[in-house]
């Protein structure tokens, strides 16, 4: 009898431990419900390798695609969640996100379509466009020297995309520190996370469209010589040569080491060489300047926190299970 009671007590303790472990595991999960690192393990195990192969091809041709893929993840996830809506074309009755002012010059849409076609050939109707964006951003970052992070998959694609929704959610390149902080807070990201994700500006290139307000009529007084005083004067002169007044379409590398993911971005910002107003404004705030300085001094800290931020961003507003669809072509609903 004593032995039976001891067995019973041991079993209760064991069962309680299992339940507690399950509760704790759920509490600390870094992925949204429905997402898993092994989501395609049975249905399309080659999916990550296919995405990786194509990303390698694009970066071999032009390393600035790393920035383009990073931008696509951010511009997708920040608008109604990571659902591939940024990829959809406009229709006769709807202007899609890609037409939004804040999405001017968005790149790599055609390349994502090419990846999708390869996945449809290998595993028809299985891998979502939303998941392609998440994988491509991670793989591209790693290939230009940046950090690796685990990617959970299982997102479905949205059937809707509206330009005004994008303009109402994404931060504009003229935002000051307070506006940036408020914008990120609406997505449950704090000011430090805002500064670390701004570090994506360490790779890629941009059109002059977002730089012009930095260089001309900064205070809105219709004065072409009115430059953002935070800009290094020599750097401002360089930018003006690359981006003459009124020229929105010229392109310029976004960072002094734009082909490498590193912490040079933060060093440049401290030196008055932030390419957008949103970059320069980071050191106008005392907290922002403290964080920028810490990342400029410790690249490993920047890398870890950037990776964590990208994982967190990948959880925003995901569609899973019976929600959404798996698009056959990323620019069109089925």
DSSP helix/strand/coil, 332:
strand
The answer to whether 293 is a known ligand-binding residue is: no
DSSP 240-275: HHHS-TT--S-EEESSTTTTS-SSHHHHHHHTT--S
The answer to whether 262 is a known ligand-binding residue is: yes
48-79: burial string, b at 16+ Cβ within 10 Å, e else: bebbbebbeebbeeebbbbbbbbbbbbbbbbb
Which residues have a Cβ under 8 Å from the Cβ of 53 and sit 6 or more positions away? none
The answer to whether 157 is a known ligand-binding residue is: no
The answer to whether 62 is a known ligand-binding residue is: no
Q: What is the DSSP letter of 107?
A: -
What gap in Å lies between CA 169 and CA 230, rounded to an integer? 26
Which of the following is catalytic: 75, 101, 207, 214? 75
Does an H or E element contain 207, and which?
strand 205-207
DSSP helix/strand/coil, 52:
helix
The answer to whether 101 is a known ligand-binding residue is: no
Q: How far is CA 175 from the centre of its chain?
A: 18
CB 242 within 8 Å of CB 250: yes
The answer to whether 161 is a known ligand-binding residue is: no
Which residues have a Cβ under 8 Å from the Cβ of 91 and sit 6 or more positions away? none
Q: How far is CA 186 from the centre of its chain?
A: 16
The answer to whether 226 is a known ligand-binding residue is: no
Q: Which residue carries 């600390």 as its tokens?
A: 28
The answer to whether 85 is a known ligand-binding residue is: yes
DSSP 133-199: HHHHHHHHHHHTT-------B---B-S---HHHHHHHSPPTT--HHHHHHHHHTTT--HHHHHHHHG
- Known active-site residue 214: no
The answer to whether 83 is a known ligand-binding residue is: yes
The answer to whether 52 is a known ligand-binding residue is: no
Task: Return the structure tokens found at 117.
Answer: 């076609």
Catalytic residues: 75
Residue list, annotated binding site for Ca(2+): 76, 79, 81, 83, 85, 97, 202, 255, 257, 262
Known binding-site residue numbers for heme b:
201
Annotated binding residues, written as ranges, equal 76, 79, 81, 83, 85, 97, 171, 201-202, 255, 257, 262
Known binding positions for substrate:
171
């Amino acid at each position: 009898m004593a032995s039976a009671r001891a067995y019973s007590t041991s079993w209760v303790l064991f069962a309680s431990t299992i339940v507690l472990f399950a509760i704790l595991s759920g509490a600390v999960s870094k992925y949204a419900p429905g997402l898993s690192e092994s989501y395609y393990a049975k249905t399309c195990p080659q999916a990550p390798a296919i995405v990786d192969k194509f990303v390698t091809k694009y970066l071999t041709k032009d390393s600035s695609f790393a920035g383009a893929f990073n931008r696509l993840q951010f511009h997708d996830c920040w608008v109604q969640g990571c659902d591939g809506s940024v990829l959809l074309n406009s229709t006769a009755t709807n202007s899609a996100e890609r037409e939004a002012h804040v999405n001017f010059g968005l790149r790599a849409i055609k390349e994502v379509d090419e990846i999708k076609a390869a996945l449809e050939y290998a595993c028809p109707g299985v891998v979502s466009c939303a998941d392609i964006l998440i994988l491509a951003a991670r793989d591209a970052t790693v290939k230009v020297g940046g950090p690796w992070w685990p990617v959970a998959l299982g997102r479905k694609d949205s059937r809707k995309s509206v330009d005004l929704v994008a303009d109402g959610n994404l931060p504009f390149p003229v935002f000051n520190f307070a506006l940036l902080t408020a914008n990120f807070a609406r997505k449950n990201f704090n000011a430090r996370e805002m500064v670390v994700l701004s570090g994506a500006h360490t790779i890629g290139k941009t059109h002059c469209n977002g730089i012009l307000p930095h260089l001309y009529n900064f205070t809105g007084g219709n004065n072409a010589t009115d430059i953002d005083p935070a800009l290094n004067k020599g750097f401002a002169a360089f930018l003006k040569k690359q981006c003459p007044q009124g020229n929105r379409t010229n392109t310029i590398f976004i960072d002094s080491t734009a082909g490498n993911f590193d912490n040079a971005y933060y060093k440049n910002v401290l030196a008055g060489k932030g390419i957008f107003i949103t970059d320069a404004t980071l050191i106008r705030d005392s907290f922002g300047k403290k964080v920028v300085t810490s990342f400029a001094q410790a690249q490993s800290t920047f890398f870890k926190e950037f990776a964590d931020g990208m994982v967190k961003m990948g959880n925003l507003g995901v569609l899973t299970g019976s929600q959404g669809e798996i698009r056959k072509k990323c620019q069109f609903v089925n």
